[in-house]
Amino acid sequence: MSCALLLLLTSLALAMGTGTAVEIQRPRGVPQSKRQFYEENKPFTCLDGSSTIPFDRVNDDYCDCRDGSDEPGTAACPNGSFHCTNAGFRPAFIPSSRINDGICDCCDTTDEYNSGATCQNTCREMGRKERESLQIMAEITKEGFLLKQQLIHEAKRAQEDKQGKLTELQGSKKGLEGKVEALRTVKETAEDPEKEAKERHLKSWEEQKELIRMEKDKTRMAEAFLELDDDSDGYVSVAELQSHLELDPDSDGSLTETETQGLLGGEGKVDTSTFETVWSGIKDKYLSEGLLDPPAPVETPQEEESRDFVSDHDSDHYPEDYAGEQEDDEEDDDHEEEEEEEKVPPTVQTPEKREDDELSMPPYDTETQSLIDAAQKARDDFDEAERALREVDDQMKNLEKEIGFDFGPSAEFAYLYSQCYELSTSEYIYRLCPFNRVSQKPKFGGSETNLGLWGQWAGPEENLYSVMKYDHGQGCWQGPNRSTTVKLTCGKETVVTSTSEPSRCEYLMEFTTPAVCQEPASLDEVLHGHTEL
């Protein structure tokens, strides 16, 4: 850049700073960047190279060049453009069709030089407001950038701490792995004798329980023989056994002589030695007369005759008052008894089952209990060590994930990890958890809606870390899954500033953070960046 041009740049910056408009002479509508192509007293070559014309045909209100470059200050060419100098403010380009159309498009009014329109030059005021805005932006950028440097410093220190913690955990893991394997051996060694001792104890108890069961069965058998031997002749006969209808093989409510004889092994009566074989076939159904009598059903004449027969033999087993009550019930409440029988059928529960239920294994002997206690302690020690190893593994995985996360070129975005920020609107509360998810919840009741899970950085190549993308959110009704684009802007605070839904199920969120602030330029550089000479 020449010294003369540097002087011109400085002059304009000073002019904008003081509000003094400075005009640089060149053909109307030509920007300073193209001034070199418009030299007076020299033929003009169209900027697209299509033709060369005398310079006096530039801005003569007749279009000679196909690209319209010979008429930068008139409306002659439909594809031309007019450069607004806008001294004191930012320059701009407008279509040639707007020149002298009666509407002021340039703040310096230069586009209406021949329309007669009454326009005021507002460039100075607009420039002043622009400079104030730029000044505020510069201050915010400066403060934000300072905060960013602090965030980078803290992120670096935190990264070092995490790396140190990870190294420490790696060492702990090795020690715990060795401990777990050693305790596994101790546990397995202690469990073998425990298992053997338990099996011995159980086997002994099963044998003991079988002896008890056999003794009880013999006792019940003897009691049953005595109960069935009504005439005490040392035999149980067909007639004596017929009183026990619960033994009915076909459950038709009657126990015939043939059926009873079958229960007695084809004999008419049996003694105590033969009864042992009979007992094995009836003991599961047999009800001791002293335990339970099933409710009397509605009887047929044959059943009544059978009942009378049984009653003759069993009357000694019931008190007189009970027998009288039973007789009255049969005469006066037959229907009621029939309903009762239908509602509550008798449940047969043998004494053997009840007695077995009451049996419980005796406590372990001292030696066995010691082996069990030792094995349990070994299991507890092993479980505790294994649990500690899992916790270390989980911590390492979390640290490795966080260390390997893309938090920006200098990890300036790391402070956002595990944080959440909310924006409340008239209807919803929006929640952004950076690097995790975005959600929306109604303010007045209703479930939360997932607007997207962390996906990736999605800014342009030159500014990748200016946009976050969250996708795979909750599906819309007959539509795609919800997704959210988060646009990051420089700011002194970390806050969600706005949300919108530009397209169905696609949300846009504005988020300010100092982590995105770039190194600020001086005010003069900012002004030059917004000014073209």
**74: in domain:** yes
Q: What is the tens place of the pLDDT at every residue in 103-124? A: 999 999 999 999 889 989 999 9
How many residues are recorded in the chain? Answer: 533
DSSP bridge pairs for 499 = 509
The pLDDT assigned to 265 comes to 85
Q: What is the tens place of the pLDDT at every residue in 53-62? A: 999 999 999 9
Question: Are the C-beta atoms of residues 465 and 457 closer than 8 Å to each other?
Answer: yes
- Count helices and strands in the chain by DSSP H and E runs: 11, 14
Q: Residue holding tokens 């008798």?
A: 346
Q: Residue 447: which pLDDT band, with cuts at 50, 70 and 90?
A: very high
Record the pTM. 0.54
Show which of 73, 89, 121 is a domain's final residue: 121
Q: What is the tens place of the pLDDT at every residue in 146-187? A: 999 999 999 999 999 999 999 999 999 999 999 999 999 999
Q: How much is the mean pLDDT over the chain? A: 82
Average pLDDT over residues 489-517: 95
Burial class for 488, CB neighbours closer than 10 Å (0-12, 13-18, 19+): buried
CB half-sphere exposure, 463, CA atoms < 13 A: 10
DSSP state of 94: E
Average pLDDT over residues 384-396: 96
Question: Are the C-beta atoms of residues 173 and 400 closer than 8 Å to each other?
Answer: no
Q: Residue 132: which pLDDT band, with cuts at 50, 70 and 90?
A: confident
**288: in domain:** no
The pLDDT assigned to 75 comes to 94
In whole angstroms, what is the distance from residue 7 CA to residue 12 CA? 9
In whole angstroms, what is the distance from residue 319 CA to residue 326 CA? 11
Question: Are the C-beta atoms of residues 127 and 20 closer than 8 Å to each other?
Answer: no
Element housing 38 (H / E): none
**45: in domain:** yes
The pLDDT assigned to 261 comes to 84
More confident residue, 264 or 2: 264
Cα→Cα distances 290→227, 304, 403, Å:
9, 22, 81
Choice among 66-80, 161-175, 357-371 with the minimum mean pLDDT: 357-371
User: Strand, coil or helix: what is 340?
Assistant: helix
Domain span at residue 437 reads: 414-529
Average pLDDT over residues 376-395: 96
DSSP state of 425: -
In whole angstroms, what is the distance from residue 337 CA to residue 344 CA? 10
- Read off the CATH number of the domain in which 420 is found: 2.70.130.10
Radius of gyration of the chain (CA): 52
Residue 77 has pLDDT above 70, yes or no: yes
- Nearest CA to 141 out of 529, 430, 518 is that of 518
CB atoms closer than 10 angstroms to residue 332: 10
**18: in domain:** yes
The pLDDT assigned to 314 comes to 45
Choice among 122-136, 251-265, 289-303, 498-512 with the minimum mean pLDDT: 289-303
- Among residues of the chain, what percentage have pLDDT more than 90? 56
Choice among 240-254, 396-410, 476-490 with the minimum mean pLDDT: 240-254
User: What 3 state SS string does 483-520 have?
Assistant: EEEEEEEECCCCEEEEEEEEECCEEEEEEEEHHHCCCC
Q: What is the DSSP string of 398-444?
A: HHHHHHTS---TTSTTGGGTT--EEEE-SSEEEEEETTTEEEEEETT
**235: in domain:** no
Question: Are the C-beta atoms of residues 73 and 513 closer than 8 Å to each other?
Answer: no
Average pLDDT over residues 242-248: 86
Who contacts 421 (Cβ-Cβ below 8 Å, separation ≥6)? 431, 432, 433, 434, 494, 495, 496, 511
The pLDDT assigned to 238 comes to 84
Show which of 78, 95, 121 is a domain's final residue: 121
Counting the structural domains of the chain, the total is 2
Q: What is the tens place of the pLDDT at every residue in 207-229? A: 998 999 899 999 999 998 898 88
Q: What is the tens place of the pLDDT at every residue in 292-338? A: 444 444 444 444 444 443 344 444 443 344 344 444 444 444 544 44
DSSP bridge pairs for 440 = 430, 449
In whole angstroms, what is the distance from residue 414 CA to residue 407 CA? 5
Residue 431's region, left for phi above 0, alpha for psi from -120 to 50, else beta, is beta
In whole angstroms, what is the distance from residue 23 CA to residue 44 CA? 23
**511: in domain:** yes
Average pLDDT over residues 29-50: 92
**397: in domain:** no
Show which of 121, 148, 180 is a domain's final residue: 121
In whole angstroms, what is the distance from residue 108 CA to residue 123 CA? 6
In whole angstroms, what is the distance from residue 236 CA to residue 253 CA? 21
The pLDDT assigned to 358 comes to 60
Burial class for 439, CB neighbours closer than 10 Å (0-12, 13-18, 19+): buried
User: Strand, coil or helix: what is 118?
Assistant: coil
Who contacts 147 (Cβ-Cβ below 8 Å, separation ≥6)? 492, 514, 517
**193: in domain:** no
Question: Are the C-beta atoms of residues 448 and 416 closer than 8 Å to each other?
Answer: no
